Amino acid sequence: MCAEKIKAYVAARIHEPITASALAKAIGYSQYHMSRLFKEETGLSPFEYIRRERLVAAANVLRCGKRKIIDVALDFVFDSHEGFTRAFAKGFGISPKKYANYPPPEGWLIPRQYLDRSKPKEVVNMEQTAVIFTQIIERPARKLILKRSVKATEYFAYCEEMGSGDNNNSAPWDILCGIKEALYEPVGVWLPDNMRPEGTGVYAHGVEVAADYAGAIPEGFDVIGLEPCKLLVFQGEPYDNEYFMDAVGQCMGRIKKFNPEVYGYKYAPELAPKMQLAPMGWRGYIEMYPVVSVN
């Protein structure tokens, strides 16, 4: 009961200064009793909770709008740009500027290392503490510019075949990053049989552009037209970059066990490649699969 009252009070005053005395008075407890009960119910002190909720709300504003970071910081009762940046980076593992400017695709959760997700998602509890969040997004008709491999079936084999680029990724990845008309960031793709000519590998690196894209195609690259489709997005928890191999491997293993038909969908590999975004600890590992409704 104490926690619910505090949460309601904070939600109504997220843009206002909140003192311990005012919070205690509003719910009818002493400051000590209020703090103790709230910590027992939530694991957080009232002011850890307030900081968390303000960071979540600020991250939503940064992602959805074009407001200056200092304006967002002041709007959520942070004293300075520097203080807000430190708190944001500590909570999310990425600076507010980098987070605000990072290319979408739509559907990413707000990344958080100690923050709860605020938007409702389908949650699948896995072994140990691993959690994967899923959601369905819509993709319009578009094109995929890609550099095919000869025999690669996964990322490391592809990089070995293609060689390394300037940014510790594959050489084709660096070229794809230079396509300014890209709808989203570059991705690794596993190509279905109907999109893979004989003598080419399953795995490739590519980037999506608009269906009417008429710009230059890099030498040695190919183009595939993709129809509108739904994508099932899997997003793992944020992780420490030092342990990314373990985190990504664990997440990929959980994804393989997922049954979309329980939720009214089935995989439709003929519509689009399976995609993986570049693994980054601050947002967790992300894969996307084309699906169709079975209803």
Rounded to the nearest 10 degrees, the angle between the axes of helix 2-12 and helix 31-42 is 100
How high is the pLDDT of residue 205?
Answer: 98
With a CB cutoff of 8 Å and minimum separation 6, the contacts of 97 are: 69, 85
The encoded tokens of residue 134 equal 């899923």
- Residue 286, Cβ neighbours under 10 Å: how many? 22
The neighbouring-strand residues paired with 137 are 231
Contact in structure between 275 and 188 (CB atoms under 8 Å):
yes
How high is the pLDDT of residue 274?
Answer: 97
- Comparing C-alpha atoms, which of 280, 250, 246, 237 is closest to residue 113? 237
Measured CA to CA, the distance from residue 243 to residue 248 in angstroms comes to 9
How high is the pLDDT of residue 95?
Answer: 85
How high is the pLDDT of residue 169?
Answer: 86
How high is the pLDDT of residue 120?
Answer: 37
- Comparing C-alpha atoms, which of 126, 57, 62 is closest to residue 95? 62
How high is the pLDDT of residue 125?
Answer: 39
pTM listed for this prediction: 0.65
How high is the pLDDT of residue 204?
Answer: 98
Mean pLDDT, each 10-residue run in order, the chain (295 residues): 87 92 88 88 87 87 83 94 88 81 58 43 41 85 97 95 86 94 94 96 97 95 96 87 85 89 91 93 90 87
How high is the pLDDT of residue 114?
Answer: 41
Q: Which residue has the tokens 């690794």?
A: 188
How high is the pLDDT of residue 280?
Answer: 84
